[in-house]
Amino acid sequence: MLPARVPSADDASSDQDNRIAVRRGGSKVGTEKSDTLIHDVPAGWARRAHADAAKYSSMYASSVSTPDAFWAEHGKRIDWIKPFTKVKNTSFAPGKVSIKWFEDGTTNVAMNCIDRHLARRAGQVAIIWEGDDPAESRHITYAELHDQVCRFANVLKSHGVKKGDTVTIYLPMIPEAAYAMLACAQIGAVHSIVFGGFSPDALAGRIEGCQSKVLVTADEGLRGGRKVPLKVNADDALKKVAGIVKTMIVVKRTGGGIDWVDGRDVWYADEVAKASADCAPVEMNAEDPLFLLYTSGSTGAPKGVVHSTGGYLVFASMTHQYLFDYHDGDIYWCTADVGWVTGHSYIVYGPLANGATTLMFEGIPNYPSTSRFWQVVDKHKVNIFYTAPTAIRSLMGAGEEPVKQTSRASLRLLGSVGEPINPEAWDWYHRVVGDGRCPIVDTWWQTETGGILISPLPGATALKPGSATLPFFGVMPEVVDASGAVLTGACEGNLVIADSWPGQMRTVYGDHERFMQTYFATYPGKYFTGDGCRRDADGYYWITGRVDDVINVSGHRMGTAEVESALVAHQKVSEAAVVGFPHDIKGQGIYAYVTLMSDAEPSGELRKELVAWVRKEIGPIAAPDVIQFAPGLPKTRSGKIMRRILRKIAEDEVGALGDTSTLADPAVVDDLIKNRHSQK
């Protein structure tokens, strides 16, 4: 079990020992960023955290030189039904990629997240739920969590769900989302969560992809005082994929009016009330799938990322403990949605495996006011706070006052995830939110990685704003050039990972070939992250963004292909190309170049129609900010759209288009430039 954190003078913000010293990076950091500020680890942190610099170095060294011994030891952090005797059995070899960890061990994830804590923590709060309405919150103890999860597990069984079946979950941020996930884990069913902001089409595609017999949803969600019509969307989705879902289990969240299909729809509360609170966790192999989660689909159809039982949980819980410096008694809050992988690993599985108190927030950062996050921090005495740069940037826009109205004295550590955090936002987060006393862990990872791969350890790593810093135990990042040559020292190129770690995805659901093609074919023998990065002279990693084209709007990532295919689905559109452009609030905005059918006329009306169309097809987050009607798009002779040119035009950098010589028709560029919608 985790060592309890002994409250000490170190906790006081006034303690000299805990103050973060800041120095200039100078030439140490490399030529490009010679003005980088370095925030040293305060002495108090080095003493009290799970690892200081020396411990990080020695643990990291053994994790990569003797991974079997290292993970044999740390694999024991979870309880096993039948202990593993094998540790690592992985291969990235071309055409033969196979990833197995702890492969002869058996366990159960729900047992690790709930049952094993009951002896010591039955009365401890497992989940603090904070509603959209500030007047609503609930505290759910481990004993109640156990009761709720067992009951819902029995409900699923009564509707025919068996080990290995998939269950689709389309819920808002309410405790039932966690109950449903854990109930699946308890009986060995595989959950597939679809973000509540996704449209009926997106939901339908994901249900079809994994053939779920059961869908768990709510009448309506509630976000920022507004209702989200989940049941209406779910009904629509099921019309598109008739015959797959046999049972829709509906949580009553708002009591709003909904349609009802007798024989298919049942109320969550009615079912749970009838169910027994006795349900033994099913014995699962370490390699049995725990969940699948569809990516945003930057390269074609969304992929069902499959995560395992044993390795995933070991990795999620260990990263949660070390990187957030989690100690017994801490109140921990990750603001992500359970529809994203961050919600899986760092709201539910990692924290609960560690016996933590995890906060689940239904609302949004600016409702009822832009002080909301900090009011919640004060209300629940949150110690560890984990959010995304887009939230920070949007709150920055409201100034310091809404933050300063609150105390935030309980905060000890801040985290960031989702995209590179720009140094201005980092500084504001650190100085204004954390009053200069909380380290920031900038955590780089992906849906595919299951848990955080590159991040500071707060007691060990000096911080450089904008850098995710150093690899976690067992993670072997490399920077390669386009030809795959491994670069050394300070360099810039593409980020690959040279060997497996326990939390790595195991396959693409139903398509192992696609898994190998997508992640292991670009640089044979290595996992390709798809991200570009720079490594400085201190060995720190700076993620520069995607190598391919994905837009990140307010932390929601979507493939340009998905937005484009929605646009061309409109009868008046013949072709579309979508790129991101810098947006003060959202991080990136969506700029769409649209070529119309010859019989259609460009108009303001049609522009509005297309925006509404994309909202309906994918969801509001995908609505284009700019639509430029374009008679032609810049294409290579082989017919590929040259996005880098479109990106430059969208960014208003028309003097720096680069090489246009391979274009089939360079004249189209002049028209695009002339008719661009300047963002300046």
Stretch that binds ligand ATP, among 66-74, 357-365, 441-449, 575-583 (CB under 6 A): 441-449
The two structure tokens encoding residue 186: 């308890």
Is the CB of 513 or the CB of 671 nearer to ligand ATP? 513
* Number of chain residues interacting with ligand ATP (CB under 6 A): 24
CB-CB contact of 209 with 509 (8 Å): yes
Interface with ligand ATP in residues 269-328 (CB under 6 A): 295-298
CB of 312: closest distance to ligand ATP in angstroms? 15
Q: How many helices (H) and strands (E) does the chain have?
A: 22, 33
Is the Cβ of residue 36 or residue 443 nearer to ligand ATP in the bound state? 443
- Considering the rule CB under 6 A, would residue 341 count as an interface residue with ligand ATP? yes
Q: How far is the CB of 518 from ligand ATP (least distance, A)?
A: 9
Asked if residue 368 has a cis previous peptide bond (ω within 30° of 0), the answer is: yes
Instruction: Between 220 and 442, name the residue whose CB sits nearer to ligand ATP.
Output: 442
| Distance of closest approach, residue 64 Cβ to ligand ATP, in angstroms | 21
468 sits near ligand ATP (criterion: CB under 6 A): yes
| Cβ-based nearer residue to ligand ATP, 107 or 552 | 552
Q: Which is nearer to ligand ATP, 127 or 323 (CB)?
A: 323
Strand arrangement, sheet containing 214-218: 265-267, 247-251, 214-218, 166-170, 190-193, 289-294, 304-308, 507-508
| End-to-end CA separation in angstroms for the chain | 55
Tell me if 549 contacts ligand ATP by CB under 6 A.
no
Compute and round to an integer the Cα radius of gyration of the chain: 25
Choose between 102 and 444: whose C-beta lies nearer to ligand ATP.
Answer: 444
Beta bridge partners of 184: none
Residue 502 in the binding site for ligand ATP (CB under 6 A): no
**Nearest of 615, 593, 608, 595 to residue 673 by alpha carbon:** 593
Residue 444 found at the interface with ligand ATP (CB under 6 A) = yes
Under rule CB under 6 A, which residues in 553-572 are in contact with ligand ATP?
557, 559
Tally of CB atoms within 10 A around 113: 32
Identified binder of ligand ATP from the candidate list 237, 550, 566, 579, rule CB under 6 A: 550
Closest to ligand ATP by CB, 420 or 589: 420
Q: How far is the CB of 117 from ligand ATP (least distance, A)?
A: 29
Shortest CB 260 distance to ligand ATP, Å? 35
Q: How far is the CB of 454 from ligand ATP (least distance, A)?
A: 8
Q: Taking CB under 6 A as the criterion, which residues in 218-247 touch ligand ATP?
A: none
DSSP-derived 3-state class of residue 556:
strand
Q: Contact at 8 Å (CB) between 253 and 220?
A: yes
Q: How many whole angstroms separate alpha carbon 141 and alpha carbon 625?
A: 44
For the chain, the 3-state helix, strand and coil shares in percent, each to the nearest 5, are 35, 25, 45
Q: For residues 170 and 195, which CB has a smaller minimum distance to ligand ATP in the complex?
A: 195
Is residue 546 within the footprint of ligand ATP (CB under 6 A)?
yes
The residue among 234 and 551 lying less far from ligand ATP, judged by its C-beta, is 551
Choosing from 132, 531, 536, 617, the residue that interacts with ligand ATP (CB under 6 A) is 531
Interacting residue with ligand ATP among 103, 265, 362, 442 (CB under 6 A):
442
If the CB atoms of residues 247 and 455 are measured against ligand ATP, the closer one turns out to be 455
Is residue 147 a contact partner of residue 183, using CB atoms and an 8 Å limit? no
CB of residue 99 to ligand ATP, shortest distance in Å = 17
CA-based torsion, 409, 415, 416, 421: positive or negative: positive
Neighbours of 290 (CB within 10 A): 27
Nearer to ligand ATP, 341 or 633 (CB): 341
Q: Closest residue (Cβ) to ligand ATP?
A: 557
Q: From the CB of 553, what's the least distance to ligand ATP, in Å?
A: 11
The DSSP secondary structure of 99-146, one letter per residue, reads EEESTT-EE-HHHHHTGGGHHHHTTSEEEEEE-SSTT-EEEEEHHHHH
- Per CB under 6 A, 543 contacts ligand ATP: yes
Q: In the complex, what is the shortest distance from the CB of residue 517 to ligand ATP, in angstroms, rounded to a whole number?
A: 14
Long-range contacts of 548-551 (CB under 8 A, 24+ apart): 548/298, 548/299, 549/298, 549/579, 549/580, 549/643, 550/296, 550/298, 551/578, 551/579, 551/580, 551/588, 551/590
CB of 297 to ligand ATP, least distance (A): 5
Rule CB under 6 A: say whether 178 interacts with ligand ATP: no
**Shortest separation between residue 442's beta carbon and ligand ATP, angstroms:** 5
| Comparison of 140 and 614: residue with beta carbon closer to ligand ATP | 614
Sole window of 17-25, 525-533, 613-621, 647-655 interacting with ligand ATP (rule: CB under 6 A): 525-533
DSSP 8-state class, residue 77? G
Show the CA angle centred on residue 378, arms to residues 375 and 380, nearest 5°.
Answer: 110
Q: How many other CB atoms are found less than 10 A from the CB of residue 204?
A: 23
Cβ at position 388, least distance to ligand ATP in Å: 8
Mode of pairing for the β-strands spanning 573-583 and 587-596: antiparallel
Taking the least distance from each CB to ligand ATP, the nearer of 18 and 469 is: 469
Crossing angle between the packed helical segments 643-650 and 667-674, to the nearest 10 degrees: 20
Binding residue for ligand ATP (CB under 6 A) from 319, 387, 443, 595? 443
Minimum Å gap between C-beta 371 and ligand ATP is 25
Of the pair 217, 447, the CB lying nearest ligand ATP is at 447
- In angstroms, the CA 140 to CA 1 distance is 21
The residue (of 48 and 344) whose beta carbon lies closer to ligand ATP is 344
CA–CA separation, 46 and 213 (whole Å) = 51
CA distance 613 to 619: 9
Q: Which of 446, 517, 565, 574 binds ligand ATP (CB under 6 A)?
A: 446
Give the type of residue at 492: E
- What part of residues 410-429 is at the interface with ligand ATP (CB under 6 A)? 417-420
In the complex, what is the shortest distance from the CB of residue 484 to ligand ATP, in angstroms, rounded to a whole number? 19
> Which is nearest to 506 in space by CA: 497, 515, 514, 498?
515
Q: How far is the CB of 394 from ligand ATP (least distance, A)?
A: 17
User: Of the ranges 47-55, 223-231, 543-551, 620-628, which one interacts with ligand ATP (CB under 6 A)?
Assistant: 543-551
Instruction: Between 301 and 487, name the residue whose CB sits nearer to ligand ATP.
Output: 301
Pick 265 or 531: Cβ nearer ligand ATP:
531
Q: Specify whether the CB–CB gap between 78 and 353 falls below 8 A.
A: yes
When binding is defined by CB under 6 A, the residue of 308, 390, 447, 494 that contacts ligand ATP is: 447
Q: In what order do the strands lie in the sheet with 440-443?
A: 137-141, 125-130, 357-361, 331-334, 384-387, 413-417, 440-443
Interface with ligand ATP (CB under 6 A)? 295-298, 340-341, 417-420, 442-444, 446-447, 468, 529-531, 543, 546, 550, 557, 559
